[in-house]
Structure 1
Amino acid sequence: MTPLVSAARSGMRRGLFEFRQSFITSTDIIGIVVPNLILLTVMIFMRGSTVGTTGFSLGTMSLSGVLGMSVAFSGMMTVTQHLAVEREDGTLLRAKAIPNGMFGYLTGKVVLIACLTVVNLLVILIPGLLLFDGLALDSVGSWVTLIGVLVLGLLATMPIGAILGSLFENPRNAGVLMLPVMGLVAISGIFAPLGEMTEWLRFVGQLFPIYWLGLGMRSALLPDSMAVVEIGGSWRHLETIGVLGLWAVIGFILAPAVLRRMARRESGASMAQRREKALQRVT
């Protein structure tokens, strides 16, 4: 067995262990369930509204878009927060000290985030199928599209999260990302069709993965007749694959270099300094 294969297997075991640990502590369970319940509640109140003149429920349309948003949040924000936390507590420094430790560490994070993303999707999707009318997840094509968008979305967003996480030395500073990310959600057609927004907002929204993830999930879950409210009157599958694929390629080119630079800068002295600052904030 080669060293990289051994590191990958070790990372996979660590990722699965951390995933199981996520369902042991009440704090982690609350962090998974409560935000999704809030989203479901908001969409339940939106069921009485319709999308334009289609007569289709805005709540049902938003539900499918929220699934795409959930993938984006898992890929970007969760990875960013994990890297920032484990950079401060010394986990990254310990991984750096082990041969191929960083490769194994990143493998574990991929496994953990992928598993958590699937759980988050199911927490929304399963009750959504019971509460919302009009979802069209009743064919092999719909399931293939949903799984394909999920995989491509994680490939597009996780490198972004890794890059962002390497820029923050502590998890408190990483929290500042929430505001611009929520701004992107607002202009990405998650809760209202992007075509109803002004031209410049449509342009900006289409530059980022959140819009394309929402569009991809809507194409998987909604009837084909609902494509009429989208830009261009279609689901634009090729454009979705192209944009998310481009983000993935750019991310996988930049992320390794940024992470290597971060790892080189990690040392016992820098970690001790961050801990001292954290203790000063507490006291």
Structure 2
Amino acid sequence: MNPRAKAALAGLRRGRIELRQSVTSAQDLWGALFFPAVALLVMYLLRGRTVPGTAFSLGSQAVPGILALNVVLNGMMALAMTLTMDREDGTLLRAKATPNGVIGYLVGKITGRAGMVLVGLLVPLVPSLLLFDGLRPDRLDTWLILAWVLALGLAAIMPFGAILGSLASSAQGLGVVTVPMMALMAISGAFYPVTAFPGWVQAIAQAFPLYWIGLGLRSALLPAGLSAAEIGASWRHLETAAVLGLWAVAGFAAAPAVLRRMARRESGSAVAARRAKAMQRLM
């Protein structure tokens, strides 16, 4: 078998092991489920409010958007944080020292993180179906749409999680991404219909995968009539697939070059310097 293929298979096994460790770790599960639990509680308290122009609960309308936010946080941001921390403690350097070790390492991290994304989606989805009226889990097209939106959504965001983790100098350095992420959360339509915002804000929201993942999940879980609250009064499945597909192509085209550059720069002296800097921060 091709050495790269062997490394990829080893990465899949590593990802399965890491996923099993994560789902049996209270700390990892808490990190994956804390945000959707809090957000869903807030939306439940607001369930009496309605989507403008309809009699549909605003809390129910926000459920798919909250799940989409969790996909991005557990996928892109958590993967970036993991890569950054593994650079700091030398894990990535050890992978680099193994033939095709970086390939196996990345396949394992992406596999394990994708599994946690699914856990972070399905676990809060079950109580949401009981707490919120109007969601439609009993239709086959709901699960088919969920499947292709999640597949394309993960393909669109996870390469950029690897890029962010490669570019950040430290775990603290990823903090600069927090502010734009919070802004995107606010305008993505997760908590309130995006059509309530000015046109230029809608244009910015539509430039990023978060909006389209949320739109796809809303099309899967909400009644067809709620599309009237969306841009163009449509779920726009073709546009969703096209935009997420473009982001995926761009990410998979850019990520290998960035990751190779990062791996070349890894050395024992670099790891030692980062550890010394981290110790100074602690002191």
Band of TM-score, shorter chain? over 0.9
Look up the SS of the partner of 2:23 in the other structure.
Answer: coil
Deviation per CA, 1:84-140, whole angstroms, max 9, x where unpaired?
110101111111111111111111011111110011001220000110110112211
Name 1:123's counterpart in structure 2: 123
Compute the TM-score of the two structures, normalised by the length of structure 2.
0.97
| Residue-by-residue CA offset, 1:187-233 (whole Å, 9 max, x unaligned) | 11111111110011011110000100000000000111100110001
Contact 1:36-1:123 within 8 A present in 2 as well: no
Q: Is contact 1:16–1:111 with CA below 8 Å preserved after alignment? A: yes
1:32-181 matched pairs, under 5 angstroms? 32-181=32-181
Partner in structure 1 of residue 10 of structure 2: 10
Provide the residue aligned with 2:22 in structure 1: 22
Q: For residue 220 of structure 1, what is the aligned residue in structure 2? A: 220
Matched with 1:237 is: 237
Stretches of 4+ aligned residues off by more than 3 angstroms: 23-26
Amino acid at match of 2:96: K
The corresponding residue for 1:256 is 256
Return 5+ residue gaps in structure 1 as ranges. Answer: none
Q: How has the CA–CA distance of structure 1 residues 72 and 29 changed in structure 2, closer, same or farther, with 3 Å as cutoff?
A: closer
Shift in Å at residue 28 of structure 1?
1.9
**Unpaired segments of 5 or more residues in structure 2?**
none
SS in 2 for 1:138: coil
> Helix, strand or coil: the match of 2:37?
helix
Q: Kindly indicate whether the alpha-carbon contact (under 8 Å) linking 2:33 and 2:124 is maintained by their aligned counterparts in 1.
A: no
Q: What residue is the counterpart of 1:247 in the other structure?
A: 247
Counterpart CA distance in 1 for 2:277 and 2:75 is 28
- Alpha-carbon separation, structure 2, partners of 1:221 and 1:158: 24
Report the secondary structure of 1:137's partner residue: coil
Does the aligned pair in 2 maintain the 1:68–1:213 contact within 8 Å?
A: yes
**1:192 lines up with 2:192 in the alignment:** yes
Q: Is the 8 A contact 1:157 1:247 kept in 2?
A: yes
Cα gap change, 1:23/1:75 in structure 2, threshold over 3 Å: closer, same or farther?
closer
Q: Which whole-Å CA distance do the structure 2 matches of 1:166 and 1:227 have between them?
A: 39
Q: Which moved more, 1:173-182 or 1:220-229?
A: 173-182
* Conservation of the 8 A alpha-carbon contact between 1:12 and 1:108: yes
**Alpha-carbon distance in structure 2 between the residues aligned to 1:200 and 1:250:** 24
**What letter is aligned with 1:99?**
P
Deviation of 1:175 after TM superposition, in Å, equals 2.4
Aligned pairs for 1:267-282 (under 5 A) are 267-282=267-282
Distance 1:52 1:83 in 2: 42
Separation of aligned partners in 1, 2:280 and 2:77? 26
Sequence identity percentage: 53
Deviation at 1:2, TM superposition (A): 2.3
Q: Distance in 2 between matches of 1:66 and 1:23?
A: 21
Normalised by the length of structure 1, the TM-score is 0.97
Distance 2:123 2:45 in 1: 18
**Superposed displacement of residue 25, structure 1:** 3.6
Cα drift, residue 177 of structure 1: 1.3
Q: How many residues align?
A: 283
> 1:23 & 1:156 partners in 2: Cα distance?
24
